[in-house]
Amino acid sequence: MDLRQFLSIPYLLEAEAVETEPGKWLLRLAYPELPGCIAEGFVVEDTLRELERRRIEQIVSLVEAGSEPPIPRKPLAASDPLWTARDLGLSPRIAALLERAAK
């Protein structure tokens, strides 16, 4: 598998709301199949964007180190990880790796 395929793997998403003080809630999102891939925040959209950023960075780091990320299911055929990486404002390094893999 190449980087584009690894970044197209769908992972289970866990969501939990935690009351940190009366009336104040923290959202905790995680991809439990990617150890340590967790994000917390108070705004759902911001927290999900941070979780996606961490997922991509973790997968890229594993691939660069010569390891495979967990592969619990097949990659999604309709996924566009390059668009996602750019939309999330990820480093040009990740975009360059994806563009190289597409050639």
Q: What is the pLDDT of residues 54-74, one digit of tens each?
A: 999 999 999 999 999 999 999
Range of the structural domain that residue 32 is part of = 3-102
**Number of domains composing the chain:** 1
Residue (of 48, 44, 17) closest to 31 by Cα position: 48
What b-and-e string marks burial along 22-56, b requiring 16 or more CB atoms within 10 Å of the CB?
Answer: eeeeebebbbebbeebbbebeeeeebbbbbbbbbb
List pLDDT tens digits, range 82-103: 888 888 888 787 878 877 766 6
Distance between CA 85 and CA 88 in Å, rounded?
5
Contacts of 97 (CB under 8 A, 6+ apart): 3, 60, 64
Distance between CA 35 and CA 88 in Å, rounded?
A: 21
Record the pTM.
0.87
CATH number of 58's domain: 3.30.160.250
Please tell me the predicted confidence (pLDDT) of residue 90: 81
